[in-house]
């Protein structure tokens, strides 16, 4: 849509929009997640879980809009006709780029149940708002040992 503008302008607009979106929805998710964990009432937890899923869906939809607005990216998907919202699916991503998760949500988001990703525990502090949002969403956190740590502690190999 904005491709009539010079590429540095489109790129700048995209970066600003992604940053604003990466602050807005994750902040709402973090606040709702905090309320979710502080008030342990079943009805309240159900409502906050639903709200967190809606905030997450909004975050993804805005990211998809930014991609449509600022790129020529076209998605061609073959073979998703038999997917159901009530089904159970196991997706494996090879994480080739920063846009993998956005692409998975774009393709499968409305066709299957709410997506859950395993995230590295380091994400909680290396990307504070987004990492905390992943925690609030309920994504399981994995601990990954560095190669240097495993060299010093070989008994930990395979335990991450």
- Half-sphere exposure in the Cβ direction for 120 (13 Å, CA): 9
Contacts of 33 (CB under 8 A, 6+ apart): 48, 52, 132, 133, 135, 136, 137
Provide the percentage of residues in the chain whose pLDDT is more than 70.
99
pLDDT recorded at residue 13: 96
Q: How big is the chain, counted in residues?
A: 160
Determine if the pTM surpasses 0.75: yes
What value does the mean pLDDT take over residues 135-160? 85
**Is 48 buried (19+), middle (13-18) or exposed (0-12) by CB count in 10 A?**
buried
What confidence tens digit (pLDDT) does each residue in 56-76 have? 989 989 998 998 899 888 888
Handedness of CA 103, 126, 114, 31 (dihedral sign): negative
Whether the CB-CB separation of 10 and 3 falls below 8 Å is answered with yes
> What's the mean per-residue pLDDT of the chain?
87
pLDDT recorded at residue 62: 94
Q: Which two tokens stand for residue 40?
A: 């342990």
Distance CA(140)–CA(45), nearest Å, equals 18
| Cα distance between the two ends of the chain | 44
What confidence tens digit (pLDDT) does each residue in 93-142 have? 777 777 788 888 888 877 888 888 888 888 888 888 999 999 999 888 88
**Is 43 buried (19+), middle (13-18) or exposed (0-12) by CB count in 10 A?**
exposed
Distance CA(140)–CA(158), nearest Å, equals 18
pLDDT recorded at residue 11: 93
């Amino acid at each position: 849509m904005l491709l009539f503008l010079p590429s540095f302008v489109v790129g700048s607009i995209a970066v600003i929009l992604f940053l604003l979106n990466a602050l807005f929805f994750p902040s709402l998710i973090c606040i709702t997640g905090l309320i979710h964990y502080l008030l342990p009432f079943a009805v309240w937890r159900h409502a906050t879980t639903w709200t967190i899923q809606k905030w997450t869906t909004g975050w993804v939809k805005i990211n998809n809009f930014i991609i449509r607005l600022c790129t020529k990216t076209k998605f061609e998907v073959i073979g998703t006709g038999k997917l159901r919202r009530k089904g159970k699916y196991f997706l494996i991503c090879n994480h080739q780029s920063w846009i993998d998760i956005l692409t998975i949500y774009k393709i499968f988001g409305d066709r299957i149940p709410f997506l859950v990703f395993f995230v590295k525990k380091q994400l909680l502090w290396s990307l504070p708002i987004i990492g905390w949002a992943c925690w609030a969403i309920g994504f399981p956190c994995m601990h990954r040992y560095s190669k240097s740590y495993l060299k010093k502690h070989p008994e930990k190999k395979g335990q991450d």
